[in-house]
Amino acid sequence: MSVAAIADQAPPHISRSDRPLVALLLLPGLAAIAVTFLLPLLWLVRISFSDAAPGIVTGGSGTLVNYVKIVTDPFYWRIAWNTILLAAVVCVLATTISYPVALFLARTNSRWRGVLAALAIAPLLTSTVVRTYGWMVILSDQGVINGSLLWLGIIDAPFRLANNFTAAVIALTEILMPYAILAMLSGLGRLNSELEGAAALLGANRWKIFSRIILPLSLPGIATGALLVFVLCISSFVTPRLMGGGRVFVFGTEIYSDATATLDWTRAAALSILLLVLFSCVIFIYQRIMKSIEL
Amino acid sequence: MSQAFVDVRDLTKIYLGQKVASVDDVSFTLEKGKMLALLGPSGCGKTTILRMIAGLIEPSSGSIIVDGREIANVPVHRRGIGMVFQAYALFPHLSVEQNVSFGLEMRNVPRAEREQRVRQALELVKLAHLAGRRVTQLSGGQQQRIAIARSLVIEPSILLLDEPLSNLDAKLRDEMRSEIREIQSRTGTTTIFVTHDQEEALSMADCIAVMSAGRIEQIGTPQEIYDRPATRFVADFIGRGNFIDGTVVRAESGTAMVEVPGLGAIQVAHSEPVGGKVELLIRPHRIEVGLNLPTATNHFRGTVREVVYTGEMRSLTVAVGNLSMMVDSPTRGAGEIRRGDSVGLAFAADDVTVIVAKSGEEVAR
């Protein structure tokens, strides 16, 4: 789950005589990755450097024209900004709301712990599309919230909750929370009640125990949860598209419409590669953060 | 200063949903500056007592008075008690220095004084050179010392140690045993520690409370506990011993004769009512053994069935009548003893402990 957690473990010792066996065991997985991921990715890179006409993927010569067009167009800079803003806001919200839940699940001795943990991640069982439509029902002008407020006479006209940036933020936050909770739970392993007892005996009250012991020890979990939410948010397109009502432009929605509507596959490919670069930057920053907080 | 510094009265803990008390009406006192061992098998309630004193477990009833103050209702962080956890519970995200300094920061001790006291505490445990290290880089023994320093730096009213040596290897254990004892006597901190290891309790504590099933069986100095066990449980739990059943056949003031079937009469240094059923305890090392021993009060002859040589000692199993006796004899003197030899066994009336069976209960005399 956590990149750092995996890196923490000492590599298992593999003796020389085991190597052929290890290679054999790795082969199916490596082959699957190569065929389903690596080859298409290389293909995508190739398309992004191609000057072929829209809708055509073969032929064309190597060129930087797609990248130059994107980088020099202010529209795409706005899209990049939108994407990062959306991801950042959702990341902060989902992490903040998920942390108490994860903390509770990590610390409780209740025999319902397993059930509660399952409930917290149960939303993953339904598809993102279904949950997005669910939020549309709740947030639309005739939806549950506006309907209730109107009926109660608290407001005269419906709030604009749907088809905008706010709607995308609300839906993405809820949709990504289970991922955040899962990732955090795996990162909260270093917490134990003995440490809290030790801190209390040394004179720490509840707040000091939280701020000096629990929170610092939670940071790896929080960072992992935040990374996952951020990355999933950057690459999301269904929810921003449906909840944004065509008014929220992010990388995901733009690549989707280029690939399916305008059929500008070379631009879609170039945008995808740029998104991949953004991913790499985020992962790099995450690893730096983990290195500074991990002991 | 024989006034009780720690006074635990009628302390009881019944865990939720359990019928039997884990700690059952326990009372004891401890003088200032002394070291008490709570000794017993696992599950006897010793750790529960420690945690109730610390404030980590709420007592069902009873009172805990430290230095004249009732602390049972004082929240943990205001008790001013030091505790070293079994797994040390050092804060993994803080350095050695920061760990030790934590308690002082919570007390808002000014920085200069804090630094000085942290340094003194680290010097006390001989680890001043590791101040800047991360605690995760330390060995088990070093972590142990840091945990002790962290507990002592706040100058606690009492220091609690939960199985302090159980996580260390054998050699380190011996070292830390005297180390802890030395630190304790140097700082004069009243200390209570929990252990299941009788040797640890005997060698470190001023005073031992032997526990079984939530109750204190006996409390006394290591010598009292060893030489005059109050109950069969204590006698059995502490050290090895030969237990012999018999009946009192003659009694005078301060002495009695006990008839043991298949062996003969044993003289004991206690007056017991004639006809009473008793159990006698004779420690293996209190029995003198030799090929030719001068005739003494308690003198028997037997045949050596087994010899185990351990360097300093020779552990013998000797068949006497229809009994089998364990005998420890120093390897020096007494000559060569081999399997099958006929040997003489002798012990003084003083060396026999009498445990009286009395309608299910056991009382020592």
**What's the CA gap between B167 and B298, in Å, rounded?**
44
Judged against a pLDDT cut of 80, whether residue A17 lies above it is answered with no
For residue A225, the domain's CATH number is 1.10.3720.10
Q: Are B285 and B316 in contact (CB under 8 A)?
A: no
The structural domains of chain B, ordered by start, are: 4-237 (3.40.50.300), 242-364 (2.40.50.100)
Residue A271: name the closest of A235, A227, A243, A242 by CA.
A235
Cβ <8 Å between A202 and B106: yes
- Please, what is the average pLDDT of chain B? 87
Residue B358: per-residue pLDDT: 46
Nearest C-alpha of chain A: how many angstroms from B145?
15
Q: Same structural domain for residues A38 and A137?
A: no
Q: Same structural domain for residues A44 and A96?
A: no
Residue B283: name the closest of B200, B225, B227 by CA.
B227
Which of B88-97, B179-188, B347-356 is least confident?
B347-356
Residue B291: per-residue pLDDT: 79
Q: Are A243 and A168 in contact (CB under 8 A)?
A: yes
Which of A33-37, A209-213, B145-149, B258-262 is least confident?
B258-262
Nearest C-alpha of chain B: how many angstroms from A190?
8
Separation of CA B26 from chain center: 17
**What's the CA gap between A234 and B155, in Å, rounded?**
54
Residue B249: name the closest of B269, B228, B267, B226 by CA.
B267
Domain extent, residue A40, equals 1-48
Q: How confident is the model at residue A58 (pLDDT cuts 50, 70, 90)?
A: low
Between A114 and A10, where is the model more confident?
A: A114
Cβ <8 Å between B106 and A195: no
Indicate the residue type of B321: G
- A270 lies in a domain? yes
Nearest C-alpha of chain A: how many angstroms from B232?
36
Q: How confident is the model at residue B210 (pLDDT cuts 50, 70, 90)?
A: very high
- Please, what is the average pLDDT of chain A? 86
Judged against a pLDDT cut of 60, whether residue B334 lies above it is answered with no
Q: Same structural domain for residues A22 and A149?
A: no
- A61 lies in a domain? no
pLDDT cut 70: percent of chain B above it: 95
Q: Are A290 and A4 in contact (CB under 8 A)?
A: yes
Q: Please report, for residues A31, B16, B43, B74, B317, the alpha-carbon distance to residue B60 in angstroms, rounded to integers and kept in the order given.
A: 64, 10, 18, 15, 48
Closest CB from B89, B93, B107 relative to A198: B89
Residue B211: name the closest of B356, B13, B3 by CA.
B13
Q: How many domains does chain A have?
A: 2
Q: Does A291 touch chain B (CB under 8 A)?
A: no
Q: How confident is the model at residue A294 (pLDDT cuts 50, 70, 90)?
A: low
Q: Same structural domain for residues A18 and A74?
A: no
- A240 lies in a domain? yes
Search chain A and give the residue with CA nearest B79: A201
Q: Are A167 and A135 in contact (CB under 8 A)?
A: yes
- A87 lies in a domain? yes
Residue B220: per-residue pLDDT: 93
Q: Does B132 touch chain A (CB under 8 A)?
A: no
| Each residue's pLDDT tens digit, B48-84 | 999 999 999 999 999 999 998 999 889 999 999 999 9
Residue A169: name the closest of A275, A254, A240 by CA.
A240
- A3 lies in a domain? yes
Which of A265-279, B87-101, B218-232, B259-273 is least confident?
B259-273
Residue B365: per-residue pLDDT: 44
Judged against a pLDDT cut of 50, whether residue B298 lies above it is answered with yes
**What's the CA gap between B57 and B50, in Å, rounded?**
9
Cβ <8 Å between B93 and A295: yes
Question: What number of other Cβ atoms are within 10 A of residue B224's Cβ?
Answer: 14
- A158 lies in a domain? yes
Which of A13-17, A92-96, B70-74, B223-227 is least confident?
A13-17
Q: Are A213 and B99 in contact (CB under 8 A)?
A: no
Q: Does A202 touch chain B (CB under 8 A)?
A: yes
| Each residue's pLDDT tens digit, A124-153 | 888 888 888 888 888 888 888 888 888 888
Q: Pick the residue of B77, B96, B161 with the most A CBs within 10 A to test the interface with A by mutation.
A: B77
Between A277 and B170, where is the model more confident?
A: A277
- Which residue is it, tokens 């839906």? A171
Residue A55: per-residue pLDDT: 53
Q: Same structural domain for residues A164 and A276?
A: yes
Q: Same structural domain for residues A107 and A35?
A: no
Q: Same structural domain for residues A6 and A82?
A: no
Residue B318: name the closest of B347, B338, B348, B293 by CA.
B338
- Count the alpha carbons within 13 Å of B112 in the hemisphere toward its beta carbon: 0
Q: How confident is the model at residue A94 (pLDDT cuts 50, 70, 90)?
A: very high
Q: Which two tokens stand for residue B84?
A: 């070293």
- ipTM surpasses cut 0.85: no
- A150 lies in a domain? yes
Cβ <8 Å between A203 and B80: yes
Q: How confident is the model at residue A227 (pLDDT cuts 50, 70, 90)?
A: very high
Residue A187: per-residue pLDDT: 79
Q: Pick the residue of B93, B144, B150, B162 with the most A CBs within 10 A to test the interface with A by mutation.
A: B93
Cβ <8 Å between A198 and B136: no
**What's the CA gap between A234 and A90, in Å, rounded?**
10
Residue A60: per-residue pLDDT: 61
Q: How confident is the model at residue A9 (pLDDT cuts 50, 70, 90)?
A: very low
Q: Same structural domain for residues A43 and A109?
A: no
Q: Same structural domain for residues A72 and A44?
A: no
Judged against a pLDDT cut of 50, whether residue B362 lies above it is answered with no
Q: Is B15 left (phi over 0), alpha (psi -120 to 50) or beta?
A: beta
**What's the CA gap between B262 and B277, in Å, rounded?**
16
Which of B152-161, B188-197, B338-347 is least confident?
B338-347
Search chain B and give the residue with CA nearest A215: B93
Contacts of B76 in chain A (CB under 8 A): 197, 200-201
Cβ <8 Å between A202 and B89: no
Q: Are A178 and A99 in contact (CB under 8 A)?
A: no
Residue B36: per-residue pLDDT: 94
Between B308 and B363, where is the model more confident?
A: B308
- DSSP structure string for chain A: --HHHHHHSPPPP--GGGHHHHHHHHHHHHHHHIIIIIHHHHHHHHHHTB-PPTT--S---B-SHHHHHHHH-HHHHHHHHHHHHHHHHHHHHHHHHHHHHHHHHHH---TTHHHHHHHHHGGGGS-HHHHHHHHHHHHSTTSHHHHHHHHTTS-SS----SSSHHHHHHHHHHHHHHHHHHHHHHH-TT--HHHHHHHHHTT--HHHIIIIIIHHHHHHHHHHHHHHHHHHHHT--HHHHHHHTT----HHHHHHHHHHTS--HHHHHHHHHHHHHHHHHHHHHHHHHHHHH--
Judged against a pLDDT cut of 60, whether residue A64 lies above it is answered with yes
Q: How confident is the model at residue A290 (pLDDT cuts 50, 70, 90)?
A: confident
Q: Same structural domain for residues A15 and A124?
A: no
Q: Same structural domain for residues A183 and A86?
A: yes
Judged against a pLDDT cut of 80, whether residue A14 lies above it is answered with no
Q: How confident is the model at residue A192 (pLDDT cuts 50, 70, 90)?
A: confident
What sign results for the dihedral spanned by CA atoms B212, B216, B221, B225?
negative
Between B355 and A9, where is the model more confident?
A: B355
- A58 lies in a domain? no
Q: Which two tokens stand for residue B353?
A: 């402990």
Which of A77-91, B7-21, B26-40, B165-179 is least confident?
B165-179
Q: Same structural domain for residues A38 and A129?
A: no
Q: Does A191 touch chain B (CB under 8 A)?
A: no
Search chain B and give the residue with CA nearest A195: B89
**Vertex A278 angle, CA A274 and A283, to 5°:** 145
Nearest C-alpha of chain A: how many angstroms from B123?
20
Q: Does A181 touch chain B (CB under 8 A)?
A: no
Contacts of A202 in chain B (CB under 8 A): 77, 102-103, 106, 150-151, 154
Cβ <8 Å between B85 and A208: no
